[in-house]
Structure 1
Amino acid sequence: MRVVAFVACLAILMAASGPAPSRAQTSGPSYRSASPTTVELAPTPAPPTFYSVSQLGDHLHAIRWELAIVGAAIVAVGIKDWDWGNVSGFQTIEEGWFSKNTRHGGMDKIGHSFSTYVIADLLTDRIRANASDPAGAPITAALVAFGIMGLVETVDGFTGRHRFSREDIVANGVGALFSAFSNSVPGLREKLDWRIMYTPASFERPGITGENGILPPYERQRYIMALKGSGFETLKNTPLRYAELHVGFDARGFEEKERELGYPIERSFYVGLGLNLNEVLFGNGPNPNFARYKDTLPGWAARKTLEYVQVPYTSVYAKSRFSTVRRVETTFED
């Protein structure tokens, strides 16, 4: 799926554009000497607007290398896996959202939102680290991420395999807006993570991966919102800083291998508790950990990965299925 390809692109971005000290400067009033005995206060410049075209240009210049890396990675994956080399007339498709007769049960739509969110979130960090005026960084990052994903969708329209989907464009917008919101509201980013949990497919012999088996019988992807205790001042000095409250969604029975094996269509909501691995590994608590390495490139990469990826078996969930439908043999067109 495209989310897997995006994770590879994300890894390249993180490795190539690690943490950098902020170059943003706050300057106070400037003084100049009119004569050896006279000091005049220079006119105070007008306060900058919250967002302007000049800021946009400054931000784009600050992330030029990151944009080049992301663009090159997406083009490489598009040519290799998304059939971008097979050009045809522009085509659109109505894919629907989360209903049982959609191809992926809505997981692809959440994947589009999540991918746009992660790109925007990372670019926000890079703009804040490198721009001379980082004010409005979440706006620039959201616009750029939405533009990148929109361009990807437009190119899809010229391939006979995927086609242009309006639903995907809306989903991209949701991810961009969520990033802008979470990076603009003070304290929200420290409290809330949006993550994907993925474990590889296991199509083994019955008895191991069957309905009552130990291992999962099909590809598992789940999208999770994690509310972190470490983000709340009242919990920072208590054991609850290691705890998280999770809400998640997944869909099963929609993928080709699942159809071949006759798995039912299921869409489920989850609520549960998770372990905050970032706090365990890099927090400032009394227990020994890797906090002193958190600002190194490996430490930064690990912390960012744990913001977007839920490590399997570090949480417990209660599931509520809101539909279980035995599949009638259906032909899906690519």
Structure 2
Amino acid sequence: MKNTLFLFVLFFTFNLSADYINNINKKTQELSDYTLITKDPTAGLIVDHLAIDTMIAAWGFSYWHWGERAEHTREEYWFEKNSETGGSDKTGHFYMTYLLSRVLASRMEDRGYSRSQASLAGSLSGMLAMTLLEVGDGTSDYGFSRQDLLADAIGASLAYIVRAYPRVDDFIDIRLEYIPTANYLNNGDNTTDYSGMRHLVAFKIAGFESLKNSYWGLIEFQVGYYSRGYRTIDTQPQSQHLYAGVGISLSNLAQRSGINILKNIFEFYQPGHTYVDTDLWSR
């Protein structure tokens, strides 16, 4: 019922008047410009970093127990069955660095950088922020992980490629699907709620210019990964899944609606139950 209502609301946006849509886009752009604080690129980059690093540090000291151990390195597994999270922390690091790099790049372009300059600045900034996070993890039980850092580097690199080359961006979205598990709602730290997450790559038929506005443009193919039951707070049995799916391209629907904020959301977020999938591999 919730999924039907969600799709109904999305389709409803197509019936909004052009003036109303333009007003929504104008208001969201004004809000975005306000959060820039400054239009100066160098000062803006410093402001963004201070804000991000402060939020990461606050979360780290509150939930990840930073500062309780001396700085140390910890070797971690990747996707082995006996890894600590079944590999979901690695796809999580990849996705978070990708998302952070894309957001920072957009803000730098709004401050006057070219698309290429902003994409490079965003990826370097995203990588720096996640490196500082890893240094903080080194003072907790998690430890500084070179494997996490490599996953971050892959995310930052892909963020640059996808954003700097618009034709790649037309075909590919990197997304997170997340439905909080009950125990993590009580715990508060949803950033490590891997049993409620899926990380995926979507390949959009709408990337083909001739099909963008056709019914075929509403279709996309997905490849993703998730694990379940690896945290002590989890109640599910341990399992790992690599899956493929086909579904409705919500990012294309949002683009057709003309509402920019919806397009931005569905480029990075995947609502559940809007596709059908099958496991390519699991254990």
Q: TM-score range by the shorter chain?
A: 0.7 to 0.9
1:241 maps to which of 213, 217, 221: 217
- State the structure with more CA Rg: 1
Amino acid in structure 1 at the alignment position of 2:213:
N
Query: Gapped runs of 5+ residues in structure 1?
Result: 1-14, 22-57, 204-217, 284-288, 324-334
In structure 2, what is the equivalent of residue 277 of structure 1?
250
**Which TM-score applies when normalising by structure 1?**
0.66
For 1:226 and 1:129, how far apart are their aligned partners in 2?
26
In structure 1, what is the equivalent of residue 208 of structure 2?
232
In structure 2, what is the equivalent of residue 82 of structure 1?
64
CA separation of 1:306 and 1:230: change in aligned 2, threshold 3 A: same
Q: How does 1:17-96 map to 2 (within 5 A)?
A: 18-20=31-33, 59-84=41-66, 86-96=67-77
CA separation of 1:138 and 1:195: change in aligned 2, threshold 3 A: same
For 2:174 and 2:30, how far apart are their aligned partners in 1?
21
In structure 1, what is the equivalent of residue 91 of structure 2?
110
Q: Using the aligned pairs only, state the percent identity.
A: 27
1:220 maps to which of 170, 180, 196: 196
Amino acid in structure 2 at the alignment position of 1:61:
A
> Quick check: 2:130–2:152 contact (8 Å CA) kept in 1?
yes
Q: How does 1:269-308 map to 2 (within 5 A)?
A: 269-283=242-256, 289=257, 291=258, 294-295=259-260, 300=261, 302-308=262-268
In structure 1, what is the equivalent of residue 20 of structure 2?
none
Is 1:195 matched with 2:175? yes
**Which TM-score applies when normalising by structure 2?**
0.77
Q: CA deviation at 1:132?
A: 5.0
> Aligned pair count?
241
In structure 2, what is the equivalent of residue 10 of structure 1?
none
For 2:162 and 2:276, how far apart are their aligned partners in 1?
25
Amino acid in structure 1 at the alignment position of 2:58:
A
CA separation of 1:17 and 1:220: change in aligned 2, threshold 3 A: farther
> Quick check: 2:242–2:281 contact (8 Å CA) kept in 1?
yes
> Quick check: 2:203–2:222 contact (8 Å CA) kept in 1?
yes
> Quick check: 2:172–2:204 contact (8 Å CA) kept in 1?
yes
For 2:30 and 2:121, how far apart are their aligned partners in 1?
18
In structure 2, what is the equivalent of residue 183 of structure 1?
163
In structure 1, what is the equivalent of residue 275 of structure 2?
315
Structure with greater helix percent: 2
> Quick check: 2:195–2:227 contact (8 Å CA) kept in 1?
no
Query: Deviating runs (4+, > 6 A) in structure 1?
Result: none
Cα distance per residue 1:243-302 (max 9 Å; x no partner): 1111111122322244x66x2x3222111112122332341xxxxx4x2xx24xxxx2x3
For 1:134 and 1:241, how far apart are their aligned partners in 2?
26
For 1:59 and 1:162, how far apart are their aligned partners in 2?
35
2:112 maps to which of 124, 131, 138: 131
For 2:202 and 2:172, how far apart are their aligned partners in 1?
6
CA separation of 1:281 and 1:176: change in aligned 2, threshold 3 A: closer
In structure 1, what is the equivalent of residue 149 of structure 2?
169
Q: Cα RMSD over matched residues?
A: 2.5
> Quick check: 1:202–1:219 contact (8 Å CA) kept in 2?
no
- Determine helix, strand or coil for the equivalent of 2:170: helix
> Quick check: 2:205–2:211 contact (8 Å CA) kept in 1?
yes
Q: CA deviation at 1:138?
A: 1.5
For 1:59 and 1:268, how far apart are their aligned partners in 2?
42
Q: How does 1:7-26 map to 2 (within 5 A)?
A: 18-20=31-33
Q: CA deviation at 1:237?
A: 2.7
In structure 2, what is the equivalent of residue 44 of structure 1?
none
For 2:137 and 2:30, how far apart are their aligned partners in 1?
28
In structure 2, what is the equivalent of residue 252 of structure 1?
228
For 2:227 and 2:175, how far apart are their aligned partners in 1?
16
Amino acid in structure 1 at the alignment position of 2:120:
I
For 1:196 and 1:141, how far apart are their aligned partners in 2?
19
For 1:111 and 1:17, how far apart are their aligned partners in 2?
31
Cα distance per residue 1:287-325 (max 9 Å; x no partner): xx4x2xx24xxxx2x3322111100111110113332xx
